[in-house]
Amino acid sequence: MRIFLVRHGESLGNIKPGMYAKVADHAIPLSARGKEQARLAAGVLRVTLDKHVGAPSTHVRMWTSPYARARTTGEIIRQELPQWITDTREHVLLCEQQFGLFDGVPDKELPTRFPEEWAHYRKCIEFEGKFWARVPMGESRFDVATRVDQTFATFARDEEAGVENIVIVCHGVTLRAFVMMWCHLTPEWFEQEPNPRNCAIRLLQDDEDLGYVFDGFP
């Protein structure tokens, strides 16, 4: 099986951090630049599919996170590649890391608004590492990796049904967690792996990580 992992395009939250205090994380849309990034990424994906898959008649399924920015990125890619992407589905477990008590609060305000919880979280990061530290009432990166692993049975069913190529549009932490669990990598690998840029495309083939075929947009 080939899996093309795509991070969503630039969102309004990426350029206007205050957006998170006004709009729920899952509802934050792409920026105009993010939509253009998705269109350009579709062109890269077309070339990549031509190279690794072959004829456009091959069945390629797209899975997306249910977050608006991932949905829209996926919709644009499918519109640009109607001859390749034959259907689109969502998986709720591909969503962004849940930030719990800290969700929607600017980082600079956390020490004053939640001094005890922030101090505890920072202590966990320093003592355990960021991979293991759980955001109060939210998720750690370990939690993200655990739930991403639960999606693999879905993709195994796809393969059994003859779907050998899938495109997954998700988020930075989710993408890295996917690579880690699919390729049986370590938490140390995750800690050292940079977050992908917007619309970066990473290719997994069977159980091998072939790396980024497109580095994305800064």
CATH number for the domain harbouring residue 168: 3.40.50.1240
**58, pLDDT greater than 90:** no
What's residue 91's pLDDT?
98
In contact, 29 and 13? CB cutoff 8 Å: no
Residue 10: pLDDT band by 50, 70, 90 thresholds?
A: very high
Pair of tokens at residue 126: 């320093």
Average pLDDT of the segment spanning 7-26: 92
Cβ neighbours of 138 (radius 10 Å): 15
89-97 average pLDDT score: 98
107 shares its domain with 197: no
Number of H helices and number of E strands within the chain? 9, 6
Residues 44 and 122 in one domain: no
Domain that holds residue 45: 2-98+139-214
Average pLDDT estimate for 114-137: 97
Residue in this structure with the two tokens 């998700």, named with its chain if needed: 170
Whether residue 116 sits in one domain with residue 73: no
90 and 184 co-located in one domain: yes
**Cα atoms found within 13 Å of the Cα of residue 80, Cβ hemisphere only:** 19
87 with 124, same domain: the answer is no
Q: Alpha-carbon distance 90 to 200, whole Å? A: 19
Domain count across the chain: 2
Q: Are residues 33 and 108 located together in one domain of the fold?
A: no
Q: Are residues 8 and 41 in the same domain?
A: yes
- What share of the chain has pLDDT > 90, as a percent? 91
* 93 and 8 within one domain: yes
Range name among 16-20, 107-111, 158-162 with the lowest pLDDT average: 16-20
Query: So what's the pLDDT on residue 57?
Result: 64
Question: Based on the domain organization, do 202 and 104 belong to the same domain?
Answer: no
Q: Are residues 118 and 164 in the same domain?
A: no
Residue 97, C-beta contacts closer than 8 angstroms, at least 6 positions apart: 135, 138, 139, 141, 143, 144, 171, 173, 174
Rounded Cα distance between 113 and 134, Å, is: 18
Give yes or no for residue 37 having a pLDDT over 80. Answer: yes
Residue where a domain stops, chosen among 119, 136, 153: 136
Q: Where residue 59 falls among pLDDT bands split at 50, 70, 90? A: confident
Tens of pLDDT, residues 137-182: 999 999 999 999 999 999 999 999 999 999 999 999 999 999 999 9
pTM: 0.95
Query: Does residue 164 share a domain with residue 123?
Result: no
Q: Are residues 37 and 215 in contact, defined by beta-carbon separation less than 8 angstroms?
A: no
- Same domain for 114 and 66, yes or no, is no
Q: Work out the average pLDDT over 170-198.
A: 98
Average pLDDT, the chain: 95
